[in-house]
C-alpha cells in the first residue's frame, strides 16, 4: 500500500475526471459502496474456487463477531447494494459506475499493490449483445479520450451453466491424458471449476493446454447466436477485436461474453482490463432474475501506462500570477479571484520577493503561462505574459486575461472572434 501525491495523483485525478465525463454522457450514474462487506457477499459471487477467495482477501472478525472482508473487487458490492435498495425493481436498465480502492493480499511485485484503485461500470437489466456493444463502445471512448490508441478487444464466450457440462467432460478427458504436466492448483481447480485451469498463469500449465477443447465449440444455440451477433456489432462499430479461446477471466460468475482490452502502447501487447456478462449473479445473491454486464480497470496500472506513453501528468494550474510589490499584490488577489470565479486554473505567487525566484519555481513546477503584474502594468491597464515553452513574451489588456487563458486551454493561438 502506498500514498498518492504529486504527478502520480494528478494522473489519477485526470483519469477520474475523464471517467465521470464519458460515463455520464452514456447515462451511467455513480454509485459508492462501503469498503467493508460481509464475507458471504464474495463467497456467493466471486466463488470459493477463485484465487481471490482462496488466497487474497483481507478477512477478519469484527467486534460484533461478524465475518467481514475489505472488498477485493466491486461488482459484488454494487450488486448487493442494488438488491438491498431495490434498484432493480423497474423494467428499465440500471446503469452504474464506481471509482474506489480495493484490497487483495497479493504477492508483492512491481506495479501491483495490496490497496489498488479501480474504475468500473455495471449494466443491469438488458441481456442483448447490443447492450454489451454499447458498454464496450463507452469503454473504448474512455480509453481513447485518455490518449491510448493501440487497443484491441480480446473476446470469448464461456457459455452458460447449463451448456458447460459438455465442455467440462471433454476438458477433463483432455486433462487426464497429461495431468502430470499441470500444477497442484490446476488439479484443485479441475475439481471445483475446470474453466479456472485455462486461467492459470503458470507457464508449464499454459504449454500443457496446447490443443485443449475450445469453449465456443460447446456452446448452446442461444449463446452461439449471442456471440456471433456481438462480433457483427464490434465489426460495424470498427472496434478492433480478436477471439481468445483461453479467456475465462478470474471470477466464477461470468456467463457468455468474457473480454479483455489489450494495448500495445508500451510495445508488447498486454491486458489493461477485463470484464464480461454475469446473468446469474444477481439471483445467486438473493435478488431478482436480472441480467448484468460489466468491467473494471485498475487506475494504478492505467496511470503507469499513461505516464510512460505521454510523459508529464496534466498540470493542476497551468498558469501562475506573479505580483511585484505591495500594490500589485493587492490587485493580484483581486484579479486572481476574478479569474478563479471565471473557471481559470491559476496558481498565485504570494511569497513576495524577487521575480527570478518566482520564475524558477514556475519552471520547476511545469507552469506553462506566467502572468507578471507590477506597477507599470497596473498604470497601463495591462499584464505581462511569458509563455514558458517558447520564451515568448507579450502584453495583454487586463480585461482580456480570462478569455485569453481560456483560449490557451482550448489550444487556440488567438482569441475567438
pLDDT (0 to 100) of residue 250: 59
Residues across the chain: 417
| Cβ-Cβ contacts under 8 Å for 54 (sequence gap 6 or more) | 48
| Cβ-Cβ contacts under 8 Å for 178 (sequence gap 6 or more) | 208
Would you give the distance in Å from CA 228 to the centre of its chain?
Answer: 27
C-alpha cell at 369: 503561462
- Cβ–Cβ under 8 Å, residues 98 and 33: yes
C-alpha cell at 333: 488577489
C-alpha cell at 295: 468491467
pLDDT (0 to 100) of residue 242: 96
* Beta strands, E only, 246-354: 255-263, 270-277, 292-298, 319-323, 346-348
pLDDT (0 to 100) of residue 416: 42
In the predicted model, residues of the chain with pLDDT beneath 70 are 46-55, 110-111, 250-252, 266-269, 410-417
pLDDT (0 to 100) of residue 110: 67
C-alpha cell at 30: 455513480
Angle (nearest 5°) at CA 231 between 225 and 237: 135
Yes or no: domain 319-409 corresponds to CATH 3.40.50.800: yes
| Distance in angstroms (rounded) separating the CA atoms of residues 232 and 76 | 30
Would you give the distance in Å from CA 172 to the centre of its chain?
Answer: 36
Task: Dump pLDDT digits (tens) for 215-259.
Answer: 889 899 999 999 999 999 999 999 999 999 888 875 667 899 999
pLDDT (0 to 100) of residue 173: 93
Would you give the distance in Å from CA 327 to the centre of its chain?
Answer: 48
Half-sphere exposure of 174 (CA within 13 A, CB side): 19
Q: Where in the chain is the domain with CATH 3.30.930.10?
A: 6-163+219-310
Task: Dump pLDDT digits (tens) for 97-119.
Answer: 999 999 998 777 766 789 999 99
* CA atoms 362, 147, 267, 109: torsion sign: positive
Strand order in the sheet with 29-30: 29-30, 94-103, 115-124, 292-298, 270-277, 255-263, 151-157, 241-243
Region 6-163+219-310: CATH code = 3.30.930.10
C-alpha cell at 245: 479461446
pLDDT (0 to 100) of residue 417: 37
Amino acid at each position: 500500500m502506498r500514498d498518492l501525491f504529486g504527478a502520480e495523483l494528478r494522473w489519477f485525478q485526470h483519469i477520474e475526471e475523464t471517467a465521470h465525463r464519458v460515463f455520464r454522457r452514456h447515462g451511467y450514474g455513480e454509485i459508492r459502496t462501503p469498503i467493508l462487506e460481509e464475507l458471504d457477499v464474495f463467497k456467493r459471487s466471486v466463488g470459493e474456487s477463485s484465487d481471490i477467495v482462496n488466497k487474497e482477501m483481507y478477512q477478519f472478525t469484527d467486534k460484533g463477531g461478524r465475518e467481514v472482508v475489505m472488498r477485493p473487487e466491486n461488482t459484488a458490492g454494487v450488486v448487493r447494494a442494488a438488491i438491498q435498495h431495490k434498484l432493480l425493481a423497474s423494467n428499465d436498465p440500471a446503469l452504474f459506475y464506481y471509482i474506489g480502492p480495493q484490497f487483495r493480499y497479493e504477492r508483492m511485485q512491481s506495479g501491483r499493490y495490496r490497496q489498488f484503485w479501480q474504475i468500473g461500470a455495471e449494466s443491469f437489466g438488458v441481456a442483448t449483445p447490443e447492450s454489451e456493444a454499447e458498454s464496450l463502445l463507452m469503454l473504448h471512448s474512455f480509453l481513447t479520450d485518455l490518449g491510448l490508441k493501440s487497443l484491441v478487444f480480446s473476446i470469448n464466450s464461456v457459455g452458460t451453466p447449463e451448456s458447460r457440462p459438455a465442455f467440462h467432460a471433454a476438458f477433463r478427458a483432455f486433462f487426464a491424458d497429461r495431468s502430470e504436466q499441470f500444477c497442484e492448483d490446476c488439479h484443485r481447480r479441475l475439481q471445483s471449476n475446470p474453466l479456472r485451469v485455462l486461467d492459470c498463469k503458470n507457464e508449464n500449465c499454459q504449454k500443457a493446454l496446447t490443443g485443449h477443447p475450445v469453449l465456443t465449440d460447446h456452446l448452446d444455440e442461444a449463446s452461439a447466436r449471442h456471440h456471433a451477433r456481438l462480433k457483427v456489432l464490434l465489426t460495424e462499430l470498427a472496434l478492433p477485436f480478436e477471439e481468445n479461446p483461453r479467456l475465462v477471466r478470474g471470477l466464477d460468475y461470468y456467463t457468455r461474453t468474457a473480454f479483455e482490452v489489450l494495448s500495445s502502447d508500451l510495445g508488447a501487447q498486454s491486458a489493461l482490463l477485463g470484464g464480461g456478462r454475469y446473468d446469474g449473479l444477481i439471483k445467486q445473491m438473493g435478488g431478482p432474475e436480472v441480467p448484468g454486464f460489466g468491467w473494471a480497470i485498475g487506475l494504478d496500472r492505467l496511470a503507469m501506462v499513461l505516464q510512460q506513453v505521454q510523459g508529464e501528468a496534466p498540470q493542476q494550474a497551468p498558469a501562475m500570477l506573479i505580483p511585484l510589490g505591495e500594490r500589485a499584490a493587492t490587485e493580484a488577489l483581486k484579479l486572481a479571484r476574478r479569474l478563479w470565479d471565471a473557471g481559470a486554473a491559476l496558481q498565485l505567487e504570494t511569497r513576495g520577493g524577487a521575480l527570478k525566484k518566482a520564475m524558477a519555481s514556475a519552471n520547476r513546477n511545469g507552469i506553462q503561462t506566467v502572468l507578471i503584474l507590477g506597477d507599470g502594468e497596473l498604470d497601463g491597464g495591462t499584464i505581462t505574459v511569458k509563455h514558458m515553452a517558447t520564451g515568448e513574451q507579450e502584453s495583454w489588456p487586463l480585461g482580456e486575461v480570462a478569455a485569453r487563458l481560456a483560449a490557451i486551454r482550448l489550444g487556440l493561438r488567438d482569441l475567438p472572434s
